[in-house]
Structure 1
Amino acid sequence: MNRRWLCFPALLLPLAALLFAFGPFDAPRSIPNSSFGRGEVLHYKVHYGLINAADATIELSDDIHRVNDRPCYKATVTGRTIGSFDFFLRIRDTWRSYIDTTSILPQKFFRNIEENNYRKKETVDFDHLKDLAQVESRKKDKDEPKRGTFKVPNNVQDIVSGFYFLRTLNYDQRRVGEVIKVQGFFDEEVFNMDVTYRGRETVETKAGVIRAIRLTPKMPSNKLFRGENAISVYLSDDRNKIPVLIQAEMFVGSVKVDMYKYHGLRNRLNLVAKN
């Protein structure tokens, strides 16, 4: 797999790769969801050591969109470098998924990557009845698009929809140390990743002190992250299960993605009261 996906997007959404694969189906599955809804917006600061390196936003559109004759949430993730980082590592990335409101499966995925001089636009259309993904991509606007059709697992997720599906899980039923087997489709490949549930902790964020669920995705061997469990993802320990903090240990230093603002949550956030 191209290691580019392990860079900036991996710091924004490592939890998005926490994906489940279910058995075959003839009709859309139904996933109970009391965690998110239209109009939810989450804002983050990305810190490299003591430096504010980037801003990131994760949001659900106010409108329901119809894709492949299915009602879908439009979920968009954006990331951009700021300040001094913008001079030597300019990033303007947009990731978008149209997610079936009933099955929490992706119907269409889009990403527009601008990282220094690197450019890539990609669209993925999912056919969950045939377990196929049709990909169209190009690196420059004037290039002829590259097209391909790929076999995918049953109920496969993309990297954005998987983040929302993760939030529908009930962690009260999981044991500390339990490993969750996951699958997804990204960069024209099916990939597997194990995720370990580490229990509950209280974490400090710019939005306040929050009780959280800690998860550690097992990272493939690479030159960016220090070890298999280099990333910790913290979801709010409440019905929202929003990502409130991500910490990553890299060979070049520590990176922290810290939520500082939010609105449109479906439920009350589990903040710890100050004494």
Structure 2
Amino acid sequence: MNPIVSASDLATALTGAGGPVLLDVRWQLANPSGAAPPFVGRAAYASGHLPGAVFVDLDTELASAPGSGGRHPLPDLQVFGAAMRRAGVSAHRPVVVYDGGQGWAAARAWWLLSWTGHPDVRVLDGGLPVWLGPLSTEIPNPDPGDFVPSPGTHGLLDADGAAGLARSGLLLDARAGERYRGEVEPVDRVAGHIPGAVSAPTDRNTAADGRFLPARRLRERFAALGADAGREVGVYCGSGVSGAHEVLALAVAGIPAALYVGSWSEWTSDPRRPVAVGPDPR
């Protein structure tokens, strides 16, 4: 199944019976002072959202509190499951997730739902900016869903797994190149990258309008980065959000990949872990 859906195909799906559950996950990374931009999240949702969409908060429902596990560690699955059921998510009904267009937050929700066992979840390619239909300010009250998340046996990396994959497979760093090289670090305490990781900024997977490049071009890009047939692939970023977007791009290309959710923010919480700086060694 294609993990993304176009705005036109979503509009068609919403006209029939049994349409997908819609989740609005608009979010933006806080600045270093901890303040979030003023018009994202619930404020943006309240001003207008896809009719019937339910807001999901990334910081509190798709992640646990920041700590030694990183800035966006895995959520408590009971909290996550309750949030999904409140939003009307059921195991038998498709789900479509969208955000403000960057795609990172929607990809985090897609990854969590997929990893915990939902069989049919997709991301609106390009997010809210590509939607041409009406918006609503009505807050829906959906019937509770029945989805009970169960952690997957594949697709998740911890710090040791990420380090091992950097040696034995392909570990992609989804952050901007200057952060990978250690030239700047606007968010986390230490600059640089996991030794052996390959720089693969996630913004190069999309066109200017935020929609993903065609699958063929994505396959070509990842092949050039070393994603050969049969090679195990993993992804990390700063805190497991933009990395989920790269995992989604890999899925569009037909390449399975695991996510190191703790990512750089967890890696650097332990001063014993090695840090590399400089350009991609390839």
TM-score range (shorter-chain normalised) is under 0.3
TM-score by length of 2: 0.26
Select the structure that is richer in strand: 1
Select the structure that is richer in helix: 2
